[in-house]
Structure 1
Amino acid sequence: MPRTPSATAPAAPKKKTVKKAMSPRTAQLIAVGVVVAFLAAIVAILISTLGTPAADDALPEPNPSAAAEVVRADSHALTSPADPEVTVVEFLDFQCPACAVAAGAIAELKAEYGDRVAIVVRNFPLTSIHPHAVDAALAFEAAAAQGATVEMYEALFSTQQQWSPASGSQAATFRQLADDLGLDLAEYDRVVADPATLERIARDRDDAVGLGLQGTPSFFVDGEPAAIASFDELRALVEAKLDQ
């Protein structure tokens, strides 16, 4: 006898999941948490952007004098010939891109003319457009105090593209350069923090302003302003002086 298929029991209906509505108190706490996190993120960004207050803020306003000098007895030199035939003085800003290019031209002058040409560099930080210029000048001064004038000059310009666009203080970057050069960091820190170092930078800047300079790099050859449009013209001017 054929078996009659047994009837299949109907499937039980699925229970609908009912989401519990969020209480107003919970929603308020979440909203507050989001706002706090957002504000914390903004503060973190501001801190990373502003960093340590720049030394530029401590540089006094220009105080040019009619007695402004192109070169002073204690100005820093990249060459030290006993009896130079020509003296080239450059007022520079270590964050200035054109000054970094000029460093290449200065290196060529040094290599080509050796002890025939004295090359002197002085600080003219353009703080309105270069926020790291004073900190870089402080690093230069601190290195020069340890006899590393040329080394720090070259290090600052060779790394300029790395630190120049960075936000916040670059004082730690410059200190690392000093460490890389093998300088005494305790002495380096002392000179950087010494108010007399900032005064020296301000004096260089005041001489630049007193001499009527408005930008960097600005050159003087044997005490006279070099009206040049290119570094080739600077070389030609030096050659002409040497031929006299």
Structure 2
Amino acid sequence: MTKKSTMQNKTIIIISIIVLISIFFGIKYFYTQSQSEKAIALSKKQSLLFKRDSSFTIGPDTAKVQLVEYFDPACEGCAKFHPYVKEILKQYKDDIQLVLRYAPLHEGSEKIAVILEATKKQDMFLEALEMSYKYQQSWAGHSGHNLNNLLQIISNLGLDMKKLVEDVKSPEIQNVVMKDIEDMKKLGIRKTPSFYVNGKPLQQFGLQNLKDLIQSEIDK
């Protein structure tokens, strides 16, 4: 074998090695990119279980803590715990954002959720929710809910009731509640209120336990 042939063979080997290395790193790069894109997509999908664009929020999006409450408007525990949630919001101020999601576990509660969702069209959701909690015993029942009583109660807020009745029929409004129900089922929620702090479920229900979980996230 001539010296020239030997040099040519070495050159071919070097080029082959460079090509193989390039292919290896190319595959690795695209695999990494693919995995990254999948992770981002999964993260976005997971985040929807806690907050959707339609979700009612109190507090800044930049808050350190996202407190998600899945509630049933007919739930006695939700009504009793609501004032404590308001105290938590005052205590932590800009460090927390509350996200309210529907979990209508009581029979017929999805109709109440639709009514409350419709009040958003008149910027009266929180007022309607608190009014429904305050007079819960007047309209909520284990064998069924008295929708007329609830409508009469929230009408005292000065709502345009004709518009509200029309908005309740809207597929857009009903779809929001259905999406919350779907997310509730994916999370396996079987009781209300159910709380999540930065995606972490409150394992043992209780005011102090909730505050401890929030504080641990703020301290990070």
Q: TM-score range by the shorter chain?
A: 0.7 to 0.9
1:85 Cα deviation from its structure 2 partner? 1.6
**2:88, 2:201 → 1: CA distance?**
18
Going from structure 1 to structure 2, the CA distance change for 1:115 and 1:187 (only over 3 Å counts) comes to: farther
Residues 4-62 of structure 1 show CA distances to partners (whole Å, capped at 9, x for unaligned) of xxxxxxxxxxxxxxxxxxxxxxxxxxxxxxxxxxxxxxxxxxxxxxxxxxxxxxxxxxx
Contact kept, 8 Å, 2:71 with 2:104, in 1: the verdict is yes
Hey, what does 1:192 align to over in structure 2? 168
Hey, what does 2:71 align to over in structure 1? 92
Contact kept, 8 Å, 2:65 with 2:214, in 1: the verdict is yes
1:177 to 139, 153, 169: 153
The residue identity in structure 2 corresponding to 1:117 is: I
Q: Any unmatched runs of 5+ in structure 1?
A: 1-64
Say which is worse superposed, 152-161 or 65-74, in terms of deviation: 65-74
The higher radius of gyration belongs to: 1
The residue identity in structure 2 corresponding to 1:71 is: K
The residue identity in structure 1 corresponding to 2:68 is: V
Contact kept, 8 Å, 1:95 with 1:132, in 2: the verdict is no
TM-score (norm 2): 0.72
1:165 Cα deviation from its structure 2 partner? 3.0
**1:132, 1:158 → 2: CA distance?**
19
The residue identity in structure 2 corresponding to 1:103 is: H
For these two proteins, the number of residue pairs brought into alignment is 176
1:135 Cα deviation from its structure 2 partner? 2.5
Going from structure 1 to structure 2, the CA distance change for 1:71 and 1:105 (only over 3 Å counts) comes to: same
The residue identity in structure 2 corresponding to 1:144 is: K
- More helix by proportion, 1 or 2? 2
Where 2:122 maps in the other structure, the secondary structure is coil
Say which is worse superposed, 93-102 or 194-203, in terms of deviation: 194-203
Where 1:220 maps in the other structure, the secondary structure is strand
2:178 to 202, 209, 217: 202
Contact kept, 8 Å, 2:54 with 2:176, in 1: the verdict is no
Q: Any unmatched runs of 5+ in structure 2?
A: 1-44
The residue identity in structure 2 corresponding to 1:84 is: A
1:218 to 191, 194, 199: 194
Hey, what does 1:52 align to over in structure 2? none
Going from structure 1 to structure 2, the CA distance change for 1:209 and 1:166 (only over 3 Å counts) comes to: closer
1:74 aligned onto 2:54: yes
